[in-house]
């Protein structure tokens, strides 16, 4: 039986257990976190924030303006009334904005997005998504589509009111092709065979839509810039981190595009793009996802790291699991090192702004910063789906989608079973297993 947790009529902050939970915030502005397990979260009235965490969760924001974050697993998010923000995360998710103007971000996986009433923004993200527009609701929906979107379908598209936003892609690269049905067209991008957007406006009586009329419904960043998904967290180092290069250690903020850095298993490699993102203290106070993780000098053991470090929550470090039948070399996120291993600290209230630095290279690499091996930016489908700004920058600099991480990513549940990992280092000399590249550790 699931655990039942009830809030009060005031503003509550409620967290679930590792099992299946039912959490009811009731009235008041509530923050509900499901944690592990298949959870059901009800926001009820007022402006609520619901976070499902791991597992297949169901989130219902209730009335008013709510933020719903699905996390891992196949989640169901229902905004109900109010102007809501829904972020599915990983997995095959179902998002229903409900009434009023909503923003829906599917994330990775094959998602279903239903804008329902009024004017909605819908971004399916990576995967093959089904987007259900509002049909006769009178609103004007914005459908986000790009080279990494997969093969998506928009059912109920209005060729008069709805728009398709293609980010930084030039309008001349858009190809619109009619099918055997005059009310179904397919949008593709020149030179991008793995992405298509099927536009089905069968619900509309006008079968005489012309190519020029449809072209008028396609816009890009030259027309306007889309809002970012606020739950896209940076994956990067911060000012002051010292990176090994062939010419000696250099502060990350001194690196420029074209500079060589030392990598773990590919020798010196050039940095393609250096990205800088300054986060004010007020923004971090309002959004915990933007706050850094502090790692004290020597916290990993063996004098590592060489100095105190600040990194983003999602930033990953190399680790060695040398147990018999262990996983070998893996990546572990900084947040999990703090929460599951106790070897780092989540910064609760940063007193000043933090500047994050992203190092983007031709593929995912391990570099040494402050004496420990850590990752560069990974531009896999889930990362690009979660971060529209990163997606546009990658497209603008001609950096392709990365097929695999340089090492497998260890999940939180594995850390709960075994925490005796060597952090910040790779395999000792003579090791012959666990050195393969990949995605997520099984």
Domain ranges for the chain: 3-219, 237-423
Whether pLDDT at 384 is above 70: no
Calculate the alpha carbon distances from 421 to 280, 299, 324, 327 in Å: 34, 13, 13, 10
Structure tokens at 154: 């928009």
Region 31-51 average pLDDT: 89
pLDDT of residue 234: 52
What are phi and psi for residue 357, nearest 5 degrees? -120, 125
The whole-chain average pLDDT of the chain stands at 85
Residues 179 and 159: their CA atoms lie apart, in Å, by 15
Whether pLDDT at 109 is above 80: yes
Least confident of 156-170, 321-335, 389-403: 389-403
Q: Which residue has the tokens 């009433």?
A: 117
Whether pLDDT at 158 is above 60: yes
Residues 435 and 375: their CA atoms lie apart, in Å, by 15
Region 306-326 average pLDDT: 90
Whether pLDDT at 279 is above 90: no
Which pLDDT tens digit goes with each residue over 118-139? 778 899 999 999 999 866 556 7
Region 260-264 average pLDDT: 97
pLDDT of residue 230: 44
Region 367-395 average pLDDT: 77
| pTM for the whole structure | 0.55
pLDDT of residue 357: 87
Closest by CA to 318, choosing from 358, 372, 363, is 372
Q: Beta partners for 78?
A: 60, 96
Closest by CA to 327, choosing from 252, 402, 201, 414, is 414
Report yes or no: 385 and 108 within 8 Å, Cβ to Cβ.
yes
Structure tokens at 293: 């993780």
Write down the CATH number for the domain with range 237-423: 2.170.16.10
pLDDT of residue 435: 52
Reported confidence tier of residue 442, pLDDT bands at 50, 70, 90: very low
Whether pLDDT at 29 is above 50: yes
pLDDT of residue 304: 97
Q: Hey, which of 180-184, 291-295, 429-433 has the most confident mean pLDDT?
A: 291-295
Percent of the chain's residues with pLDDT above 70: 85
pLDDT of residue 439: 46
Q: Which residue has the tokens 């850095």?
A: 261
pLDDT of residue 402: 79
> 181 exposed, middle or buried (CB, 10 Å; 0-12, 13-18, 19+)?
exposed
pLDDT of residue 260: 97
Least confident of 47-61, 283-297, 415-429: 415-429
Compute, in degrees rounded to 10, the torsion defined by CA atoms 99, 100, 103, 107: 0
Region 389-404 average pLDDT: 67
* Residue partners of 332: CB distance under 8 A and separation at least 6: 316, 317, 319, 409, 410, 415, 421, 423
Whether pLDDT at 350 is above 50: yes
pLDDT of residue 395: 65
Reported confidence tier of residue 205, pLDDT bands at 50, 70, 90: low
Whether pLDDT at 220 is above 90: no
Closest by CA to 288, choosing from 46, 51, 57, 101, is 51
- Please tell me which residue, 440 or 197, carries the higher pLDDT value: 197
pLDDT of residue 171: 92
- Please tell me which residue, 228 or 363, carries the higher pLDDT value: 363
Reported confidence tier of residue 325, pLDDT bands at 50, 70, 90: confident
pLDDT of residue 381: 62
Calculate the alpha carbon distances from 378 to 154, 318, 390 in Å: 29, 14, 10
What are phi and psi for residue 284, nearest 5 degrees? -70, -35
Sheet holding 112-114, edge to edge: 3-6, 21-24, 40-42, 58-60, 76-78, 94-96, 112-114, 130-132, 151-155, 192-200, 184-189, 174-178
- Please tell me which residue, 329 or 168, carries the higher pLDDT value: 329
pLDDT of residue 100: 80
Reported confidence tier of residue 441, pLDDT bands at 50, 70, 90: very low
Region 30-56 average pLDDT: 89
Percent of the chain's residues with pLDDT above 90: 44
Report yes or no: 136 and 117 within 8 Å, Cβ to Cβ.
no
């Amino acid at each position: 039986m699931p655990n039942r947790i009830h809030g009060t009529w005031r503003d509550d902050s409620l967290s679930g257990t590792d099992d299946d939970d039912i959490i009811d915030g009731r009235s008041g502005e509530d923050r509900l976190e499901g944690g592990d397990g298949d959870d059901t979260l009800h926001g009820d009235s007022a402006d609520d924030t619901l976070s499902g965490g791991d597992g297949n969760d169901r989130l219902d924001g209730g009335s008013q303006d709510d933020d719903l974050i699905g996390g891992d697993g196949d989640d169901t998010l229902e905004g109900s009334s109010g102007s809501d923000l829904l972020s599915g995360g990983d997995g095959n998710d179902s998002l229903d904005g409900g009434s009023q103007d909503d923003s829906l971000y599917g994330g990775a996986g094959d998602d279903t997005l239903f804008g329902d009433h009024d004017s909605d923004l819908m971004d399916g993200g990576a995967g093959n998504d089904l987007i259900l527009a509002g049909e006769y609701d009178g609103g004007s929906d914005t459908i986000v589509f790009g080279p990494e979107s997969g093969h998506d379908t928009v059912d109920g598209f209005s060729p008069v009111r709805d728009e398709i936003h293609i980010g930084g892609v030039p309008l001349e690269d858009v190809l619109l092709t009619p099918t055997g049905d005059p009310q179904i067209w397919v949008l593709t991008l020149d030179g991008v065979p793995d992405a298509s957007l099927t536009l089905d406006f069968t619900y509309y009586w006008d079968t005489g839509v012309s190519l020029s009329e449809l072209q008028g419904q396609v816009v890009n960043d030259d027309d306007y810039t889309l809002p970012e998904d606020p739950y896209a967290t940076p994956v990067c180092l911060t000012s002051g981190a010292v990176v090994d290069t062939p010419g000696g250690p250099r502060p990350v903020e001194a690196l420029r595009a074209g500079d060589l850095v030392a990598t773990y298993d590919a020798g010196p490699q050039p940095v393609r793009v250096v990205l800088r993102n300054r986060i004010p203290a007020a923004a971090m106070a309002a959004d915990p996802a933007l706050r850094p993780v502090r790692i004290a000098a020597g916290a990993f053991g063996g004098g590592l790291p060489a100095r105190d470090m600040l990194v983003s929550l999602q930033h990953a470090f190399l680790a060695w699991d040398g147990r018999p039948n262990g996983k070998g070399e893996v990546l572990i996120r900084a947040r999990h090192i703090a929460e599951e291993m106790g070897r780092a600290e989540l910064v609760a209230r940063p007193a000043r702004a933090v500047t994050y630095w992203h190092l983007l290279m031709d593929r995912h690499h391990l570099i040494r910063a402050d004496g420990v091996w850590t990752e560069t930016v990974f531009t896999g489908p889930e990362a690009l789906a979660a971060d529209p700004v990163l997606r546009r920058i990658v497209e603008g600099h001609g950096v392709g989608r990365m097929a695999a991480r340089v090492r497998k990513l260890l999940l939180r549940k594995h850390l709960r079973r075994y925490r005796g990992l060597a952090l910040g280092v790779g395999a000792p000399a003579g090791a012959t297993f666990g050195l393969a590249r990949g995605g997520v550790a099984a």
